[in-house]
Structure 1
């Protein structure tokens, strides 16, 4: 299993370009996030603003939710992804110029955060839909694993690098980020054109609701997705890391970068473990246990005053979150028929965005009301309460043994409509 990525990189040149584009894009976003968070907190010193940035970045996902998947299916995905990456490069360039001329303001950061969220809202489903057209079906699971490793590796290295560069000035973060996005854009445009554009219809509300209706008809899928939504929504403390780094753990931008990288270290290590030792039995119990560990780790982080203990707790938090994410993704992929996967993925993406961006807003708001430490501790307690409640609400999910249990298909209407074989006349 650990050799999956090298195997793909050796034998599939288009995947090399795609994999590197994902590395550069993820690295650029992580560096940009670190710089924006620290820059904004330096400007205003208001923890509520850190939460508002998450809300502003999430807003485009709701506003354009009817169009993101439609665009990915109707237009050349390479060009859509490249346009999104070019827009993100321009956002980083605007911040670099503003920093160099000392013209970065709170309002400017919020406007650019909205544009960043809009670009990512279209880029994420597009690149997800692009991957199956690059590699053969037999290697698709390996390609997904390798793509995830690129994402986690960038999440580990880039925030620490961004924090280190910020020590020399914010322009030293924004400038290299422009280059990373432009390289990713070039790699995307050089991918082979293999997409068959079949979707000529208009995006409609009913098209989105079809995915929602399907999820509601599958209690285990609904339970897995909503559990992750509320657990991360309540327990996420990412938006408050600048406050912990500066005011509680008494470190600087470099320390903030390490704090942001720590969950990804745990996630990467756990993903390697799960690739070698896959979860095959007691998946429901394991998922709920992982979410419970996530809540306990959140409480421990909120109460910690030691930088190194906080790093260790964040590693555990990231590992637990990876277990939940892998099981949830397996439910969505294995329990959903192919003709519904696009619409279900759009709804799932909205849930993921809500848990991340709205979680940042929730963290900033509760920190503004109750204080930073109480907000994180309350969030961890809320995660534990949600876990216990979901065990009661979705008992089949909690008791589920395997990832996928094939269900015998009922006789199709075509088959039932066939005339019965005439009986031979009796002599």
Structure 2
């Protein structure tokens, strides 16, 4: 009966704290990225500048990802996450200062923009440690028999935060302005830190403390590439985010194409959030572990189609509907992908596997932003979005043949074996 309990993992206090912390962090991080995008585009009016924001974060995130995974597997997780939050607090506070009108009036616009780029670069360093730390902490706050249910709630909270944060950012820019929006982000960071102090220190499960970095990294990469379900999930996630990153160009669509200003921008950002939220509520009561591989492929294909419709649309209402369904499909795929990673990854390798995932997936958010900005510069914003959606559909369709184990995956069997 416990396996069918939609609240199984929620019956553990520290897991609830973990969900609160994760939501606050994802909300703050994604909100910050959107506020920065809006500010930089407002200052430059160049779509390529949006791509450069992603590039500035992805360079350190990818470069340090594997090393960060090694460190995470060697260190106590709660303490390491506390240090990450303190670093993020510092960066957000500095961005608040840079976005102050008084600061911007006293320095050249180029200096303001490059100051933002520099702080985003530092944020990329912090992010390379946050992702594997969070992933590793998950298994320490929920028992193994609740992994499937816990993974659903964890990925659902991540999804809610990742779409509600940007959606709120759009309205926050309208209501409070850019610099006070950054102040909200600082507040959420402090809140996450205070919640983290309520979780006890955790044991280090890795028995190879002091292992050579090179040996540790090779072991992590070997595991990912030999476990086809994990490799397939990571690859599909990377493709969907890389080529389906229409949201990176939303400031362009809101200001120059649909001409709906910050109010419309907020609604455009909110549309995927609503779709994801409704999907997540449904998944909590009706698990999607049966034939999960097929559902994953279909959901990402549907995501690509939604992006294509959004690219073609010149009607604000249709654009909202397309983004709503992109959130629906993305919500399904995120839950399935995160469940695969949690179930298939050994406890002593969670940091390294999460780092590999961060390299290919987490960083693809920023690479997707850069790809969107670059293609928008070359072929125009509308064509760039359509191109990304088409590429997503093509690659997902071919992935069903390249990763047959992923296509045939049924997570309900893993659930029964727990």
> In which range does the TM-score fall when normalised by the shorter chain?
0.7 to 0.9
* 1:96-175 pair list within 5 angstroms: 96-100=96-100, 101-103=102-104, 105-167=112-174, 168-175=176-183
Alpha-carbon RMSD across the aligned residues, in angstroms, is 2.6
> Secondary structure of the residue that 1:105 maps to in structure 2?
helix
Residue number among 367, 377, 402 corresponding to 2:410 in the alignment:
402
Distance, in Å, in 1 between the alignment partners of 2:24 and 2:344 is 32
Q: How far is the alpha carbon of 1:240 from its aligned partner?
A: 0.7
Distance, in Å, in 1 between the alignment partners of 2:164 and 2:401 is 40
Higher Cα Rg, which structure:
1
Which residue does 1:94 correspond to in 2? 94
2:214 is the counterpart of 1:201: no
Residues 63 and 292 (structure 1), Cα distance of their counterparts in 2 relative to 1, 3 Å cut: same
Check the 8 A contact 2:78/2:137 in 1, yes or no. Answer: yes
Distance, in Å, in 1 between the alignment partners of 2:354 and 2:303 is 24
Larger fraction in helix: 2
Which residue does 1:311 correspond to in 2? 320
2:353 is the counterpart of 1:344: yes
> Which structure exhibits the higher relative contact order, with contacts defined as CA atoms closer than 8 Å and separated by 6 or more residues?
2
Check the 8 A contact 2:128/2:358 in 1, yes or no. Answer: no
Distance, in Å, in 2 between the alignment partners of 1:280 and 1:220 is 14
Distance, in Å, in 2 between the alignment partners of 1:18 and 1:146 is 11
Gaps of 5+ in 2: 105-110
Check the 8 A contact 1:163/1:256 in 2, yes or no. Answer: yes
Check the 8 A contact 1:298/1:380 in 2, yes or no. Answer: yes
Q: How far is the alpha carbon of 1:355 from its aligned partner?
A: 2.6
How many pairs does the alignment contain?
Answer: 403
2:40 is the counterpart of 1:31: no
Which residue does 2:108 correspond to in 1? none
TM-score (norm 2): 0.87
Check the 8 A contact 1:79/1:189 in 2, yes or no. Answer: no
Q: How far is the alpha carbon of 1:299 from its aligned partner?
A: 0.6
Check the 8 A contact 1:2/1:275 in 2, yes or no. Answer: no
> Secondary structure of the residue that 1:30 maps to in structure 2?
helix
Point out the more displaced range, 343-352 or 56-65: 343-352
Check the 8 A contact 1:82/1:184 in 2, yes or no. Answer: no
TM-score (norm 1): 0.85
Distance, in Å, in 1 between the alignment partners of 2:4 and 2:121 is 38
2:64 is the counterpart of 1:74: no
> Secondary structure of the residue that 2:252 maps to in structure 1?
helix
Check the 8 A contact 1:208/1:347 in 2, yes or no. Answer: no
Q: How far is the alpha carbon of 1:394 from its aligned partner?
A: 3.1
Residues 85 and 165 (structure 1), Cα distance of their counterparts in 2 relative to 1, 3 Å cut: same
Check the 8 A contact 1:88/1:119 in 2, yes or no. Answer: yes
Gaps of 5+ in 1: 407-427
Distance, in Å, in 2 between the alignment partners of 1:8 and 1:278 is 14
2:371 is the counterpart of 1:362: yes
Residues 257 and 134 (structure 1), Cα distance of their counterparts in 2 relative to 1, 3 Å cut: same
Which residue does 1:425 correspond to in 2? none
> Secondary structure of the residue that 2:66 maps to in structure 1?
coil
